[in-house]
Amino acid sequence: MGFRICFFLLILTGASFCNGGITSSFLRKEAKSIDMPFDSDVFALPSGYNAPQQVHITQGDHVGRAVIVSWVTQNEPGSETVVYWAARSHRKHHATARVTIYKYYNYTSGFIHHCTIKHLKFDTKYYYEIGTRPTVRRFWFRTPPAVGPDVPYTFGLIGKPLSRIISIRKMTGICAGDLGQTYDSNLTLTHYEMNPVKGQAVLYVGDLSYADHYEFHDNRRWDTWGRFVERSTAFQPWIWTAGNHELDYEPSIGEKKPFKPFLHRYRTPFQASGSTDPLWYSIKRASAYIIVLSSYSAYGMYTPQYQWLWQELPKVNRSETPWLIVLMHSPWYNSNSYHYMEGETMRVMFEPWFVQYKVDLVFAGHVHAYERSERVSNIAYNIVNGECTPVHDQSAPVYITIGDGGNIEGLANNMTMPQPKYSAFREASFGHAMLEIKNRTHAYYGWHRNADGFAVRADSVTFFNRYWHPIDDSTTKN
């Protein structure tokens, strides 16, 4: 199996132990989160007339042999062609994009291109070019290794957008949520870029631009956000989850179609997993099976999302993809007073399935703080028995909330007290995390607060796979 052994040191800058695990006593200096101005250099347009901008890629099929390339041109549609080739080959291939535009209140988008590149080789570096001369732009990406049970793979977990301080070629992947486009976002991404552990893809748990923070949902902030994160999104796949700030539902100004800007700008490979909607879908990547759910779409019994998940979970072959990971926006286990219990109805619907199919990890955003649970479930209640307290359950997932990147709404720093028994570690700080899957049995995880050195882990744990190595990996004793 080729096990790699690594020991992580849990480093705490002061902590208090409550009924549950650790409520960190680290105090971040209070400062308002402020969006960077429109003339910030991180929002700069690429040089040249009608140059492609806001370039981003995501996985384009179920197994990792396709990539969706997306970009925007402002003045006219321009070229719809993507030219691409393997790094060690001189043979160039061509694929054609589809172009769309949308209007939102008094805003009209640029020309949004989406192109799916298919039949790629696994674990191969590809270059691609978009645009017309003299404003052709070149980027690159690496496809994942072939799906397999002991394929190592690293995901990053971050909550905010990129700075331009470090070259993109020093970072290979992230996972994010609640990004926004503030000065704190810059700091979070710079911290990630300097992390000696490098990710290979992004698992994004929702809330992108926060354009809805502004009057009339100023969609120019969708454009600045797309240019801001391009230095990452053009080079590595981001796996998209929709959050509440993607709804953009505002009947008072005539905008009655939920998710309009998001669905026009960002594509997902939903049809590859039999989904009928781009807001929920699944992919395989290396040794992980990733399921994306929509917290703000209907999920009651008989709804399309419910029916899809009911059919999807039995399809997961843990001999092929041992690690079963779920992404959503609204957390189910949240001991912060902010957004408290907002995910409760979805938890009631789906948690028994998560335990039945031994989901390993669930990542969420929404709450602008960091929290990691123990393996717990709360599925015994049947209206008359009164059993409605979360209990430790080694068949259940660990729930991690990582909406802590630095968006304009600031930190959620009002924790409920005492700390619940199911909560292993929590802190109201900005930061990022890394998940290193080593093989079918072990994955190493660490969370890094912005206030520490680049390699320091404020919270860390070795996770054991629920299917292949289901031993207790709790970090608190109750």
| Token pair in block for residue 91 | 């043979």
Q: 168 pLDDT exceeds 50?
A: no
Q: 91 pLDDT exceeds 90?
A: yes
- Region of poorest pLDDT, from 27-41, 43-57, 133-147: 27-41
376-428 pLDDT, tens digit each: 999 998 878 888 899 999 999 999 998 776 677 878 888 899 999 999 999 98
In a domain, 27, yes or no: no
How many other CB atoms sit within 10 Å of the CB of residue 159? 33
In a domain, 454, yes or no: yes
Strands (E) across 32-78 are located at 53-59, 67-73
Query: How many structural domains comprise the chain?
Result: 1
Q: 198 pLDDT exceeds 90?
A: no
In a domain, 320, yes or no: yes
- Region of poorest pLDDT, from 1-10, 85-94, 245-254, 455-464: 1-10
Catalytic residues: 339
In a domain, 35, yes or no: no
In a domain, 416, yes or no: yes
Cα separation of 114 and 100, whole Å?
A: 8
**Residue in the structure block whose two tokens are 């901008």:** 53
Per DSSP, the three-state class of 100 is strand
pTM: 0.91
- What spatial distance separates the first Cα and last Cα of the chain, rounded to whole Å? 34
In a domain, 91, yes or no: no
Q: How many CA atoms lie within 13 A of 291 on its CB side?
A: 28
Position 449 scores a pLDDT of 79
Per-residue confidence band for 2, with pLDDT thresholds at 50, 70 and 90: very low
Q: Are 240 and 58 in contact (CB under 8 A)?
A: yes
In a domain, 288, yes or no: yes
Q: 169 pLDDT exceeds 60?
A: no
- Domain of residue 329 covers 147-206+279-380+387-477
Cα separation of 432 and 160, whole Å?
A: 9
Q: Return the CATH number at 405.
A: 3.60.21.10
Position 243 scores a pLDDT of 95
In a domain, 346, yes or no: yes
- Region of poorest pLDDT, from 226-240, 244-258, 270-284: 226-240
Q: 3 pLDDT exceeds 90?
A: no
Position 466 scores a pLDDT of 98
Continuous H helices in 411-478: none
